[in-house]
Structure 1
Amino acid sequence: MELDTLVREYLLLGLRFDRLEEGFVDAYTGDPALRRQVDNEPRPDPRTLVGSARALRAELPSAGLTDERTRFLDAHLTALECSARKFAADDIGFVDEVAAYFDVRIAPGDEERYRDAHRRMDAVLPGPGTLAERMEANRAADRIPPDRLQDCVEAFNSALRDRVRAEYALPEHEQVDYEVVGDKPWSGFNYYLGGYRSTVAINSDLDQHMSNLPRLIAHESYPGHHTEHCRKEAGLVGAGQLEQTLFVVNTPQCLMAEGLADLALESIVGAGWGTWAQEIYADLGLRFDGERAEELAAASSGLLSVRQDAALLLHDRGASADDVAAFLQRWTLSSPERARQSLRFLSSPLWRAYISTYVEGYRLLGGWLAQAPVGPERSERFRRLLDEPLTPGALRDDTPGALRDDVVSADGAASMLGRGRP
């Protein structure tokens, strides 16, 4: 099969999944004629999609692609084949499902590590009452007044955009717009529209907190999802790699993107982000203890795997929804309402495996970045994540030794309420 034909068939295959479940295609910026073709077709048979994915994988070795592009497409066709089998009601174990989607093998975390995280958090938040009560009081004090949210979003968007544009070139007319929405299983979502434009939706059903907003803006926009989309559109798509015009759910792309985005704030601001944020809030007339927020984030990093454990309990071990909610409430020290919001995300047919993109993406990409010292070498590694069609397997091949939870810092666990954009 000719290279152009194979890539075209890959794009048509991915677009057809959106006919099975709307939202499966996260972003598509390619030839609109392909989208129209799929929209005018009958609803696809999942079994046909299984066969198409397998046939395209078999054609890869003879298509004349570079090794990098071949590896990318092979991993993504593997993921799409698994999705098609799930739509066809095949019985696939949850761990195998995650492995096929994201090119990682998952396992339960260590509850002793969670207990240690609680001890560290207790030291950061001393005082009367249980740790859960003190955490709830801290969240209440950290809440952004709804009438100030827009000002805060604009301030951090501007500050982060300036930093990113100084470090990584962006198209002059790139733009991010923000909107407030409700009734969603996530706290934030980037809709990349193509042409270097994004709309970022922020969920009004969840309180927004001063300690998390800088991370949310970095994750969704600068230097996270929006920045990555812009640079890949200008670079890879501009160079003819049209497979990069398609971004679909439950593929290795997602793990790479979420890992990058969850590391975005520490990559562009680094240690001291709390004090940096405190100064921005002070200019807005808001009080924020940045040093304590940064300490609490570091203490809670040991909770990174909790929500993946909850997914394993729910989908691999058959635990009840009530038991999973109780598990989340216990270890994340969250309210019953917040635990149920997390459970809603984990229970979604489309998003049920997605929590692993944050846990394993943050761990894998964090370990890979940490091989380079802070400074120009680390920045160059982050640039590669923004610009190159890397896969989890490629990073593992370039990461000697086992990865540990402690290669990640910040509040990855605290930020994972939903589709990467918690």
Structure 2
Amino acid sequence: MNAKRFLSTLTLLSVTLLSACGKAPEPPISNDFSPLAEHYVRLVLALGEHDGSYVDAYYGPAEWPEQVKQSEKSAADIASAARTLQAQVTAEQLSDPMLRLRQHYLAKQLTALISHADTLASGSRAGFEQQAQALYDTLPPQHALSSFEPILQQLEQLVPGEGNLTERVVAYRQQFVIPQDKLQPVFEQAISECKARSASHLALPAHESFTLEFVQDKPWSGYNWFKGNAFSLIQINTERPIDISRAVDLGCHEGYPGHHAYNALLEQHLSKDLGWVEFSVYPLFSPQSLIAEGTANYGIEMAFPGEQKLAYERDVLYPLAGLDASKAADYDRFLKLLAQLSYAGNETARLYLNNEIDAEQFVALQQQYLLQSEAEARQRLRFVEAYGAYVINYNWGKDLVKAYIEQASTEDERWQRFMTLLTTPRLPSSMDW
């Protein structure tokens, strides 16, 4: 029995029982969000006409995008229509837990849509905190850049060589770069292992699949383009050198149990099984992205807990790439320390988006606190200019997901909680519902 028919039967049964007891039944609350959800999808598609990055994936009715395009709604009109729709979505109080999650999901996604539409209509960029709260349903912690100095001091002792710390780190990492002619086999092997480990815990659609491509001239290192019907195009950006640790990271993040698994499972469980049309579209600048990026990043640790990632890289990927596996443990220690600088990237983005620093100062701070080469720092600048406060979804999103998952005490329970995030309409503010 599908969910809608079950709820109708349950309502009818409740009315019958109340009548039999001599009590007048209360009018049943409408649980059919389909017309509202369709309106939401059309508004997302309409806003995508004003921002080419906004609609990350769409696999709903083929005629809707063309119909929306012909309507030629302005960004201001879209924001106004979204406000009206949000009031309709939140008009009733629902008792069913899953329907409350659905209602909350639509309301928060509409908050993000309204904010982004207002920004496009005004032509002015919102600040870091406003973007974080309105678009991603959260406010990340703030750290003074000086708080990262102790980590930099530890790296000073760890990385030998000549020059300043950034120069030494850039030089040190060169010995772990995957040769161009080894990228295809290394990534194919890594994604295969990520899939095998994830599939032993997640019930993936039987027909799911992906295609792997290598591209250049992008502001990101990897991207999953979900096409619907459990199929993804996974792209890896090769314009900058890719070190050996990124094979598993991107294989899990873009593939399994990350974006590909997330989108395929949402499509199966919510779009197909329940007929919830709002899950036929994925607006990038929305709270859904924090769950998507958070699960994708924490999914690396789910698939490779403890020291398993190091062991797999040392025993399989290093030899496949022709790299010196005897250095794997030292590099792993270095990377774990480097990862503690991640939130410094949020702070450079905060300063830049709040107009407290200019582009050149951003690049300099990225080099100083993230230990990036100038080319890497400028690529990051392109990312922040294109995607704004989206950067919080990777580290803060991961930490929120980690806190949710690690409430469980066993591996099986952790995977069950992970599966819950991949198959229900949970957002940052409803994660623990």
> TM-score of the superposition, structure 1-length normalised?
0.88
Counterpart residue number, 2:324: 287
Counterpart residue number, 1:393: 429
Query: Which has the larger Rg?
Result: 2
Aligned with 2:365 (options 317, 327, 352) = 327
Three-state SS of the structure 2 residue aligned to 1:99 is: helix
Q: CA deviation at 1:302?
A: 2.0
CA distance in 1, matches of 2:419, 2:147: 32
The answer (yes or no) to whether the contact 1:117–1:301 under 8 Å persists in 2 is no
String of CA shifts for 1:284-307, please: whole Å, max 9, x gaps. 244343322332232123212112
Three-state SS of the structure 2 residue aligned to 1:53 is: helix
Match status 1:56 vs 2:85: yes
CA distance in 2, matches of 1:231, 1:212: 24
String of CA shifts for 1:139-170, please: whole Å, max 9, x gaps. 11011100110010111111111111111111
Counterpart residue number, 1:78: 111
Counterpart residue number, 1:410: none
Match status 1:263 vs 2:272: no
The answer (yes or no) to whether the contact 2:294–2:398 under 8 Å persists in 1 is yes
CA distance in 2, matches of 1:244, 1:64: 22
Match status 1:193 vs 2:231: no
The answer (yes or no) to whether the contact 1:50–1:85 under 8 Å persists in 2 is yes
Change in CA separation of 1:102 and 1:127 when aligned onto 2, cut-off 3 Å? same
The equivalences for 1:206-221 within 5 A come to 206-221=240-255
CA distance in 2, matches of 1:79, 1:390: 15
Aligned with 2:171 (options 122, 137, 140) = 137
Match status 1:10 vs 2:40: yes
The worse-fitting range, judged by mean Cα deviation, of 109-118 and 161-170 is 109-118
Q: For the aligned residues, what is the CA RMSD?
A: 2.0
The answer (yes or no) to whether the contact 1:93–1:316 under 8 Å persists in 2 is yes
CA distance in 1, matches of 2:224, 2:50: 22
Q: CA deviation at 1:374?
A: 5.0
Aligned with 2:347 (options 298, 309, 312) = 309
CA distance in 2, matches of 1:84, 1:373: 42
Q: CA deviation at 1:128?
A: 5.5
Amino acid in structure 2 at the alignment position of 1:36:
E
Match status 1:37 vs 2:67: yes
String of CA shifts for 1:375-422, please: whole Å, max 9, x gaps. 122222211121121110023x56xxxxxxxxxxxxxxxxxxxxxxxx
CA distance in 2, matches of 1:280, 1:34: 47
Amino acid in structure 2 at the alignment position of 1:87:
L
> TM-score of the superposition, structure 2-length normalised?
0.86
Q: CA deviation at 1:373?
A: 3.0
CA distance in 1, matches of 2:408, 2:165: 36
Match status 1:47 vs 2:85: no
Match status 1:19 vs 2:52: no
Q: CA deviation at 1:64?
A: 8.1
Amino acid in structure 1 at the alignment position of 2:54:
F
Q: CA deviation at 1:76?
A: 0.3
Q: CA deviation at 1:47?
A: 1.2
Change in CA separation of 1:385 and 1:323 when aligned onto 2, cut-off 3 Å? same
Q: Percent identity?
A: 29
Q: CA deviation at 1:265?
A: 1.1
Match status 1:345 vs 2:383: yes
CA distance in 2, matches of 1:61, 1:192: 30
The equivalences for 1:229-244 within 5 A come to 229-237=263-271, 238-244=273-279
Give structure 1 stretches of 5+ with no counterpart.
399-422
Q: CA deviation at 1:209?
A: 0.9
CA distance in 1, matches of 2:242, 2:123: 39
CA distance in 2, matches of 1:169, 1:123: 46
CA distance in 2, matches of 1:172, 1:292: 40
Counterpart residue number, 1:182: 216
The answer (yes or no) to whether the contact 1:3–1:63 under 8 Å persists in 2 is no
Three-state SS of the structure 1 residue aligned to 2:139 is: coil
CA distance in 1, matches of 2:59, 2:295: 21
Counterpart residue number, 1:87: 120
Three-state SS of the structure 2 residue aligned to 1:27 is: strand
Amino acid in structure 2 at the alignment position of 1:116:
P
CA distance in 1, matches of 2:197, 2:127: 44
Change in CA separation of 1:368 and 1:113 when aligned onto 2, cut-off 3 Å? farther
Q: CA deviation at 1:187?
A: 1.0
Change in CA separation of 1:282 and 1:102 when aligned onto 2, cut-off 3 Å? closer
CA distance in 2, matches of 1:183, 1:319: 25
The equivalences for 1:158-169 within 5 A come to 158-169=192-203
CA distance in 1, matches of 2:252, 2:222: 11
String of CA shifts for 1:284-332, please: whole Å, max 9, x gaps. 2443433223322321232121121111111214311111111111001
Three-state SS of the structure 2 residue aligned to 1:193 is: strand
Aligned with 2:313 (options 274, 277, 293) = 277
Change in CA separation of 1:332 and 1:282 when aligned onto 2, cut-off 3 Å? closer
CA distance in 2, matches of 1:72, 1:225: 19
Give structure 2 stretches of 5+ with no counterpart.
1-29
